[in-house]
Amino acid sequence: MKKIAVLGYGVVGSGTVEILYNHKESIEKKIGESYEVKYILDLRDFPDSPYADKFTKSFDDIVNDKEVDIVVEVLGGVKFAYPYVKASLEAGKSVVTSNKELVAAYGAELLKIAREKDVNFFFEASVGGGIPIIRPLNQCLSANKIDEIAGILNGTTNFILTKMIKEGMGFDEALKIAQDLGYAEKDPTADVEGHDTCRKICILSALAFGKHVYPDNIHTEGITKITLEDVKYCESIGSVIKLIGYASEKDGKVTIMTCPAVIDGDSQLAGVNDVFNAILVRGDATGDVVFYGKGAGKLPTASAVVSDVIIAAKEKSTTRMMSWEDSEQNFIVPESEISNSFYVRANASKADVEKLFGNVRYLSRENAPSGEVAFITDVINEKTFAEKCSNIDVIGSIRVMNY
């Protein structure tokens, strides 16, 4: 019989316990063995919970109990999660987590400990919530050389952008609705400034290209500067604005960034609306493959956690596929050298624009004030683009991407 401990009884933790109990019979059939949730770690009291006898406030109870095979970490943050997960792995227990902050910060180290202890460290739920992406990327697409990954990885910002695009709502109003609906936190910084997306694309990049990318090393830009005027200009050419995390690899160098992007309306990512997420993986053999679904929420995320628990319970030793290495960050292409084409909105004459950028594609919107111009440049690197922009009165700019 497998013994499981769940660290944290918040939204995802309670969902995980719920699924482990409600689907016990079918899950045990899949594992080929019975199991029990032996501990639930939480500092709060849950005297009325049907699982009241499982609760403990002491992590030591869990880490010192040799019977515990699998530890599920759904605490969030890194303050407790990191030492608890590390100690669990070192004690020879497999760990399953939904914690993207933890994986993005300490993934390489924790995977290394798991390998050394011949146990597993799984984190399917850390990216894309209920969307299967980590394992498909590692197993099903393993015969490919992955060239590129691009994803709508944050439901909150996608909800806000959808309100702006579909209903012409301003950013502040859309954010307020997202908060009222519980999609956005009171302090929405991690979502709207792109940090959440950044952590997730770091994890996907590490998996696809084999080297840990630390979130602090990549350009991260949120959606707070996107205006309804930008939305309208893009609409005039059938495009939409999405917050994209992307990573590509060529000759051992990784280009990686989190930023809003103008993408074609026919793209598979353009039709991803509301709180949904989608991840596009471009492989040399498969071409584009897209995974779509709910990127957050209690049961979707918990179901991804439990699917990892099932595999951890079945696997006798560490999974060689699911791994990457820590290394110096010199394989990351410096931001200044990254090239894209850009959408630009500026107060400038067309003559000035063309003198700077050469041939551009002009966009239009209703009721644009005279003197305002919006256009799309050719592909140009970040440094050159910034230099050129310093010569005109740029109101805003967004990268244009080919997904």
| 100, 117, 200, 211: the active-site residue | 200
Instruction: Say if residues 356 and 391 touch (Cβ distance below 8 Å).
Output: yes
Q: Which residue has the tokens 């009325």?
A: 48
Residues 284, 74: Cα–Cα separation, whole Å: 35
Residue 211 appears among annotated catalytic residues: no
Among 42, 69, 73, 124, binds a second copy (CB under 8 A): 124
Query: Which tokens sit at 153?
Result: 């990885």
376-403: string of b/e by CB count within 10 Å (b at 16+)? bbeebebeebeebbeebebbbbbbbbeb
44 binds a second copy (CB under 8 A): no
Residue type, 295: G
Residues 94, 83: Cα–Cα separation, whole Å: 14
Element at 363 (helix H, strand E)? strand 361-363
For residue 305, the minimal CB distance to a second copy (Å) is 8
By CB under 8 A, what part of segment 209-268 binds a second copy?
266, 268
Q: Which is nearer to a second copy, 268 or 347 (CB)?
A: 268
Q: Which is nearer to a second copy, 66 or 314 (CB)?
A: 314
For residue 281, the minimal CB distance to a second copy (Å) is 9
294 binds a second copy (CB under 8 A): yes
Among 12, 102, 127, 131, binds a second copy (CB under 8 A): 131
Among 130, 188, 215, 245, binds a second copy (CB under 8 A): 130
Looking from the CA of 154 toward its CB, the CA atoms found within 13 Å total: 32
Among 228, 289, 338, 380, binds a second copy (CB under 8 A): 289
Stretch that binds a second copy, among 152-160, 288-296, 338-346, 350-358 (CB under 8 A): 288-296
By CB under 8 A, what part of segment 265-284 binds a second copy?
266, 268, 271, 283-284
Residues 6 or more apart in contact with residue 90 via CB below 8 angstroms: 113, 117
Q: CA-based diameter of the chain, in Å? A: 75
For residue 47, the minimal CB distance to a second copy (Å) is 27
Instruction: Say if residues 81 and 16 touch (Cβ distance below 8 Å).
Output: no
For residue 92, the minimal CB distance to a second copy (Å) is 20
Among 88, 162, 205, 307, binds a second copy (CB under 8 A): 307
Q: What does DSSP assign to residue 217? A: G
For residue 14, the minimal CB distance to a second copy (Å) is 13
Instruction: Say if residues 17 and 37 touch (Cβ distance below 8 Å).
Output: yes
Q: How many residues bind a second copy (CB under 8 A)?
A: 51
For residue 87, the minimal CB distance to a second copy (Å) is 26
Among 57, 64, 83, 143, binds a second copy (CB under 8 A): 143
By CB under 8 A, what part of segment 318-347 binds a second copy?
320-321
Secondary structure of residue 294 in the 3-state scheme: strand
26 binds a second copy (CB under 8 A): yes
Among 126, 197, 303, 397, binds a second copy (CB under 8 A): 303
For residue 303, the minimal CB distance to a second copy (Å) is 4
Secondary structure of residue 180 in the 3-state scheme: helix
Where do runs of H (alpha helix) occur along 124-220? 134-135, 155-167, 171-180, 189-192, 195-209
Among 299, 333, 386, 394, binds a second copy (CB under 8 A): 299
Residues 6 or more apart in contact with residue 5 via CB below 8 angstroms: 37, 38, 39, 40, 41, 62, 65, 68, 70, 71, 72
Active site residues: 200
Footprint of a second copy (CB under 8 A): 15, 19, 23, 26-27, 30-32, 124, 130-132, 135-136, 139-145, 266, 268, 271, 283-294, 297, 299-300, 302-307, 309-311, 314, 320-321
